[in-house]
């Protein structure tokens, strides 16, 4: 009896101030690095994830209630847009850069093509308020959501507060976006010993490791850095320079992940290339010289036809149909 | 079992006491201090007001401000034993259009005699890199850049014939490296600040928006600053240099 009492009082002591729900969905292979976003002050929970998912799919985030995050970040395209170079905002206005894919965000240090946003939680503030995208005032969004009793209940459940603030809205979205982990491609199955590459994929993988891996580092297939990959001699969009104002950043953009690249066409910051073969041709023989060009691209790769086919075969092993079909991620 | 009753009760009471999340404050040992800001224009300290035509005493620019707001943060008080008391969650947005925002409340200051204070103009680097914030630091205040993360620490907007567009908009920020405009100042009290639960003392401050254009700056150099950089740094440093401690009341 005494023991039971001690046990009870100790458990009351341990659990009364902080309830931590068992983490679910945040799992990744052991060859992945430590995440950059660790849900600090925003512990992962199912209630928060489901709330974030509802917000992600809610068109009330836009000024005319026509566009949600999912409009331009669709699960079937690995949370990039539906094959368009530039995305339409409210009233059909076109944005200036290609919609990036949203997955493996907890490993990203910078957001947007120019890396101007430094934190996953405040990333949604940009598309919500951009006149070319959702064109909405954040206070209006809060007003709309606060008049919905279902939301108030969900916020109460998830954060212990039924008053919806921008901080809680961003945190719920960060929990949902943070859970969009892509780690179940054929490449991953190969890494785990559960699949074998074809000989073409294997040759493509070797070519990739020789030529591409210094920027598109495994296993995330990006390096959290910026590069000028030789698209133009004269820049129409100065990219990273617009954030840093350093001359050496002119024409540099964030190195995107190659995971799910088969699904996230068209390619580059302005969506100028429609197909993977156009992209490979660019690196093979289309590099344009400029002062900030990445030094490893100064000599064209000059891939043979077979090598191009092999590289494409390898890039297709990075497609993750678990991400694109996972029921928990859809509306 | 019978003789267990008392220890059981005591144990339960103890665990409830030990686990209650709220801190109990003994209000007898704490007092409230206020810090208030008045705004003047130019070296003669003419009154500053929004939506009023003002002539800059140095560069002659005609300016009509529609907005003037800035962050004051991280208020600390130095006790007569040399130790510093730091106000937790100390972030304030001073907005000339809102009378209530001109007086900052510093609650739960331990009673005692204080000989100096510190304040920061701007928002420290940590809060610029730590994601979604609340209160004075919420993005609903229009003081946060969406596309280039960071707080707009001073926002001055209005009209001026000296601007090529007729308008001016100075959004000043920057939290890292050479472009940082986060500025902490320590000021000794002329007469000691005595904090007690019986009276509320006010630290009187004065800001002078004309100081933005101290030392040769003018709207005619360009009416728009929208990101961190050398000009933002010049304007903010000028303005911060004119923030003055007037005394305790």
Q: Render pLDDT for A246-285 as a digit per residue (tens, 0 to 9).
A: 999 999 999 999 999 999 999 999 999 999 999 999 999 9
Nearest chain B alpha carbon to A143? B140
pTM value is: 0.89
Asked whether residue A45 falls in the same domain as residue A159, the answer is yes
pLDDT tens, position by position, B141-157: 999 999 999 999 999 99
pLDDT at residue number B197: 94
Single residue among A149, A181, A213 that ends a domain in this structure: A181
DSSP H helices, chain B, are 5-19, 125-128, 230-241
Verify whether the Cβ–Cβ distance A167 to B21 is below 8 Å.
Answer: no
Domain count, chain A: 2
pLDDT at residue number B106: 98
pLDDT of residue B25 exceeding 70, the answer is no
Verify whether the Cβ–Cβ distance A126 to B147 is below 8 Å.
Answer: yes
Asked whether residue A138 falls in the same domain as residue A210, the answer is no
pLDDT tens, position by position, B154-166: 999 999 999 999 9
Residues of A with CB under 8 A from a CB of B: 1-2, 5-6, 9-10, 12-13, 16-17, 41-42, 112, 116-122, 125-126, 128-130, 138-139, 142, 165-168, 170-171, 174, 242-243, 245
Q: Which residues of B touch A120 (CB under 8 A)?
A: 131
Q: Tokens in use for A320?
A: 């993750």
pLDDT of residue B238 exceeding 50, the answer is yes
pLDDT at residue number A17: 42
Q: Which domain holds residue A106?
A: 38-181
Compare B137 and A22 and report the one with higher pLDDT. B137
Q: Which of A161-165, A304-308, B23-27, B53-57 has the lowest mean pLDDT?
A: B23-27
pLDDT of residue B215 exceeding 90, the answer is no
CATH number at residue A251: 1.10.760.10
pLDDT at residue number A23: 58
pLDDT of residue A65 exceeding 80, the answer is yes
pLDDT of residue A301 exceeding 80, the answer is yes
Residue A20 placed within a domain: no
Residue A215 placed within a domain: yes
Give how far B149 is from chain A: nearest CA, Å. Answer: 5
pLDDT of residue A97 exceeding 90, the answer is yes
Q: Which residues of B touch A138 (CB under 8 A)?
A: 139-140
Query: Who among A130, A167, A243 is closest to B148 (CB)?
Result: A243
Residue A211 placed within a domain: yes
pLDDT at residue number B11: 46
Nearest chain A alpha carbon to B137? A167
Asked whether residue A177 falls in the same domain as residue A191, the answer is no
The radius of gyration of chain B from alpha carbons, rounded to an integer in Å, stands at 23
User: CA-to-CA distance for B146 and A125, rounded, in angstroms?
Assistant: 6
Band of pLDDT at residue B31, cut at 50, 70 and 90: very high
Verify whether the Cβ–Cβ distance A122 to B144 is below 8 Å.
Answer: yes
């Amino acid at each position: 009896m005494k023991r039971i009492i001690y046990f009870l009082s100790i458990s009351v002591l341990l659990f009364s101030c902080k309830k931590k729900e068992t983490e679910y969905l945040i799992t990744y292979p052991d060859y992945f690095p430590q995440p950059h976003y660790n849900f600090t002050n925003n512990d992962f929970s199912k209630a928060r994830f489901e709330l974030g998912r509802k917000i992600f799919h809610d068109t009330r985030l836009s000024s005319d209630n026509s566009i949600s995050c999912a409009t331009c970040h669709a699960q079937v395209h690995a949370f990039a847009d539906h094959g368009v170079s530039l995305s339409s905002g409210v009233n059909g206005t076109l944005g200036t850069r290609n919609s990036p894919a949203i997955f493996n965000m907890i490993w990203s240090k910078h957001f947007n093509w120019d890396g101007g946003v430094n934190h996953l939680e405040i990333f949604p503030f940009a598309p919500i308020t951009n006149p070319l995208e959702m064109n909405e005032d954040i206070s209006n969004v809060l007003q709309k959501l606060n008049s919905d009793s279902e939301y108030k209940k969900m916020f109460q459940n998830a954060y212990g507060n039924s008053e919806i603030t921008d901080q809680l809205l961003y945190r719920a979205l960060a929990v949902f976006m943070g859970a969009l982990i892509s780690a179940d491609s054929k490449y991953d199955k190969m890494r785990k010993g559960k699949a074998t590459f074809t000989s073409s994929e294997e040759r493509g993988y070797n070519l990739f490791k020789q030529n591409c891996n210094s920027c598109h580092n495994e296993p995330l297939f990006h390096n959290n850095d910026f590069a000028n990959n030789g698209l133009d001699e004269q820049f129409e969009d100065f990219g990273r320079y617009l954030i840093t104002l350093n001359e050496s950043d002119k024409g540099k953009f964030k190195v995107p992940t190659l995971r799910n690249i088969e699904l996230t066409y068209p390619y580059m910051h302005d969506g100028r290339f429609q197909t993977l073969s156009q992209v490979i041709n660019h690196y093979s023989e289309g590099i344009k010289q400029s002062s900030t060009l990445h030094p490893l691209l100064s000599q064209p790769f000059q891939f043979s036809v077979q090598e191009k086919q092999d590289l494409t075969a390898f890039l297709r092993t990075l497609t993750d149909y678990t991400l694109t079909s996972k029921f928990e991620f859809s509306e | 079992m019978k003789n267990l009753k008392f220890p059981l009760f005591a144990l339960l009471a103890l665990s409830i006491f030990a686990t209650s999340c709220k801190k109990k404050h003994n209000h007898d040992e704490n007092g409230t201090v206020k810090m208030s800001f008045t705004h003047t224009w130019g070296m003669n300290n003419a009154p500053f007001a929004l939506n009023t035509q003002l002539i800059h005493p140095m560069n002659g620019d005609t300016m009509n401000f529609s907005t003037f707001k800035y962050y004051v943060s991280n208020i600390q008080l130095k006790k007569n034993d040399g130790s510093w008391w730091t106000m937790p969650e100390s972030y304030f947005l001073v907005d000339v259009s809102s009378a209530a925002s001109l007086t900052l409340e510093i609650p739960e200051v331990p009673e005692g005699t204080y000989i100096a204070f510190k304040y920061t103009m701007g928002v420290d680097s940590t809060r610029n890199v730590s994601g979604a914030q609340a209160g004075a630091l919420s993005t609903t205040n229009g003081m946060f850049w969406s596309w280039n993360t960071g707080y707009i620490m001073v926002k001055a907007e209005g009209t001026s014939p000296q601007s090529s567009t007729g308008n001016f908009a100075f959004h000043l920020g920057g939290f890292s490296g050479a472009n940082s405009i986060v500025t902490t100042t320590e000021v000794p009290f002329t007469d000691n600040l005595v904090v007690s639960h019986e009276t509320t003392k006010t630290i009187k401050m004065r800001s002078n928006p004309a100081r933005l254009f101290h030392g040769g700056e003018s709207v005619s150099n360009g009416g728009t600053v929208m990101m961190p950089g050398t000009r933002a740094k010049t304007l903010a440093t000028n303005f911060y240099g004119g923030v003055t401690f007037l005394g305790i009341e």
